[in-house]
Structure formats: C-alpha cells, structure tokens
Amino acid sequence: MGVDASAVAASGQDLVALPDFTPIVKQFGPAVVNISTTETKVARGAASPFPPNSPLNQFFAPFFGGPGGGAPGAGGQDQKYQVQSLGSGFIVSPDGYIVTAAHVVKGAQKIIVSLTNHQQYVAQLVGLSTRIDVALLKIDASNLPTVHLGDSGKLDVGQWVLAVGAPFGFENSVTQGVISAVARPLPDDPYIPFIQTDVPINPGNSGGPLFNMRGEVVGINDQIYTNSGGYMGLSFSIPINIAMDAVKQLKLHQKVHFGWLGVMIQDVSMDLAKSFHMKEPVGALISQVVPDGPAAKAGLRPGDVIVSFDGHAIYNSSELPPLVGSLPAGFVAKLGVIRDGKPMAVKVTVASLPNDMDGMTAPATAQVQKGEIKRLNIQVGALTPEAKQQLHVNTGVLVLGAGVGPAVEAGIRPGDVILQVAQQTITSVTELQKLVAGLPAGQPVPVLIRRGEGSFYLVITLPH
C-alpha cells in the first residue's frame, strides 16, 4: 500500500528523514564569532616611466607613489597601505578565550571580534602556532556562550558534520556535509592529520568550528583545495585534539612543542621496494639524517625504511610525522625498520623540534675533478670544500650535465649531488665511475641525491 504524500504533507511530517542541524545551530551558534583584522603592509613604489620634467607626470605620478602627487623621478617610494581580512573563531571559555586559525590573525595590528548579539570587542593575541595554524585570542568579557569540545580521534568517514563561519563575510553561515577522509596529510603541513570533508568552505570560514552531530567541535576549518579561489568539493579541518594541545601551551605562553626524529623521509615506490629487496612498497624511506639528531644517535641511516613506530604500522611516509610530532621530548619510541631487506628493531629518544633548522643551499659549482659516467650519460664533478660545507655533507659528486639516458629517465638533472649508488657512499668521481661500470643491467638500483635543501632516493635501471 503506497504512502499518500498529500496526507503526510498536511500532517506536517517530512517525507524523507534527513539530519536536522537546527538544535546545534540554536545551542552553539552564539559561541561562533566573526573576526576582522587590520594589517599594515608596505608596497615598493615604482618609478614613473616619464622624465622628471615631463608634463605627463602630473597625470601618472599618483600611480607610481610620488610624494604629494608628484613623480618620484628616477626612484620609487615605499607606500604603506592597510589590508583588512575576515575569518571566524569560537569561544572556548566564558571569560573570553577564543580559538581561531593562525593565518587569520598573523601579522594583524588590530583584531576585532564580533558576537552574534552584535557586541564587538578588541581582542588580544595570546599566542599562535604557524605550524599547526592555530591561534588563541582573549577578549575582555564574561559569561560568554561556549562550544563543547569533542574527540577528533573518534571520527569515521561518512559521518555528518556541520561548519559555521563567515564565508566571504556573510556572517554566521551554516554549511553541512560528510567526512571524506581522516588523517589526511597535506604537503605543506606534515604534522597535521587533516580531517577532509565535502563541507562547503570558502574564504572567511577559516578558524571556524566543525561540529559533529552531538554538537561537539571536532575540528577547525582551515583550508580548501581550489583552482578558482572558491569551494571545489574538498575542505580540510585541523583535528580539535591537536589544536587544543597547542592551545593549552599557548595559554601558558609556552612554545608549542613538536616531537622530532631528525630525518627526511619519502614514500617507497614499487621500484624502490625492489631495489631495497623489500617484498612490498610500504613504510617511510629515510633519505637524510640530521647529524647529531635523535635518529643519528640511534644509528638510523639513509636507506633504512621505517615500517612501524611505537606500535603503529607505517604504510606510507605521511603517516609518520603526526605520530612523532605528538610525542613529548624524551619519549623512547620503538621503531620497526627494514635495512638491506632485513627487519630490525631500533629505539629512538624523541627530541623537540628546533626553532630554526639549519638551512641547506645549493652547492658551489667549482670542481677539482671532472668526469663522464657513460652508462648514465651524465657529466659529474667533485664537490669543493665550500660546497660540502653549504650542504652539510662530507661526500658526493655534482651532476654538471645530463643527456638522454637512464639518469635523466630516473629524474636526475644538473645541479643534483649524487650521494649514494646502490647504497654505496660516493666519495669521488673515479669511485662513481667504477661503481656504475659494475652495476648489473635490468635491475633497479637506488640512487640517493641531494637537491636544494633535501635528499631523496631515485631508481635507475641500466639497459641491457
């Protein structure tokens, strides 16, 4: 027997049962705030293209930063201008503490917080962490409505979530969707396992809360994937557990701590797995070890593959940084490592991420010894002492030129420094020539290179 739609409509009942977000908005919407900031920036003035005595200067000088409407002549002048931006946030305590995204308030000279009751307050920045992209503000108020905090560690793909914020300045806008993925790393934020959703997020939503169906904040809306500047179906939120750990430290005016191993890592491709005698392409491949860092002290070295960390299986390299970053300094972690195709266990004492990591620059191009590696069709030269010092390396040869061949097909290019071939350290051009001459054909060979500030592995397969 069918359902009489007209009768259901007359009774006031819904034909289809869908999530109703009204209770969440009514109860916790007042705890969501709008944030506007003012920042003074400096633009370098351009010189007028006309001679100083040209009558055209009176028309064009305002566009080139001339004083008093006059042209600056041969040189431009710096011009100060104000930039205003909008974002969102949420109140976490009745006495006026507010959480938002760091990029919403970073560099701002003035921060204005607006509540849903139209009250406005000048906020003070308590502290921020650009690495986690979270900031803590304080306004002089009391008895404020607050949100309830949830547990982002209990989220599952497919759960409904709700975002409240000010997209494009439209205050207190509500959008909804589902969780598309959890623990999603992004290239520029390796320490954050983002919550990925299909909730429409746009500029102005940044810093606002992501609610679950219990009305608990489980994330801070932070980024979108876009080619146009607007929403394209992918939104990313900072898990509230990670954000609030940082907030606790900011409230105490402490430096936000991140656990640190002192390694650079990359994914293990199928070719790399074969070259390292692994059965499957899993784990985080160590491509660089910081001297005197925790990993170096534990005996880890380039070519080791971390397949487990403190009981957590590591299937790809992006899973490792959030696990390490969440640990306190001094924590002894047990690592499962594959070295030369054989499993081994290593204990590493986690340290705190240094404020300033030593930068590594490209090496100088002067060489004492040069040579050609015919099987690879590349020209290489020995590194000067100055180049080694810049790169913080003691070995390696510089690629001077590369023609069509196995090296170019693998991704090697001029300016790269070859550190290892087949897990053998390269100390001279002659050594590299001899090593490559003896490599078997048709088998993948790992090659460790340094490019710019980082090191990583490539795979070369020599033709028969």
Q: What is the helix, strand, coil percentage profile of the chain, to 5?
A: 20, 40, 45
Is residue 206 flagged as an active site residue?
yes
Question: Do strands 124-129 and 378-382 pair parallel, antiparallel, or not at all (unpaired)?
Answer: unpaired
> Of the listed 103, 152, 173, 237, which one is catalytic?
103
Strand partners, 235: 197, 224
> Of the listed 173, 206, 317, 318, which one is catalytic?
206
> Of the listed 36, 133, 317, 416, which one is catalytic?
133
Sequence-distant contacts of 6-14: CB under 8 A, at least 24 apart: none
Q: Which of 118, 117, 196, 205 is nearest to 161 (CA)?
A: 196
What type of residue is 102?
A
Asked whether 290 and 296 are in contact (CB, 8 A), the reply is: yes
Query: Quick one: CA dihedral 411, 413, 419, 420, positive or negative?
Result: positive
Is residue 267 flagged as an active site residue?
no
Is residue 152 flagged as an active site residue?
no
Sequence-distant contacts of 241-244: CB under 8 A, at least 24 apart: 241/151, 241/152, 241/153, 242/132, 242/152, 242/192, 242/193, 242/322, 242/326, 243/99, 243/132, 243/134, 243/219, 244/99, 244/149
Q: Which of 458, 261, 452, 250 is nearest to 350 (CA)?
A: 261
CA separation for the pair 340, 342 (Å, rounded)? 6
CA separation for the pair 36, 29 (Å, rounded)? 18
Q: What residues contact residue 325 under an 8 Å CB cut-off, 6+ apart?
A: 191, 258, 259, 260, 353
CA separation for the pair 249, 242 (Å, rounded)? 11
Question: Do strands 397-402 and 417-421 pair parallel, antiparallel, or not at all (unpaired)?
Answer: antiparallel
**Any idea of the CA torsion for 45, 48, 51, 54, to the nearest 10 degrees?**
-120
Asked whether 251 and 136 are in contact (CB, 8 A), the reply is: yes
Angle at 11 between CA 6 and CA 13, to 5 degrees: 90
Query: What is the full DSSP assignment across 22-33?
Result: HHHHHHHGGGEE
CA separation for the pair 220, 135 (Å, rounded)? 11
Which residues are part of the catalytic machinery?
103, 133, 206
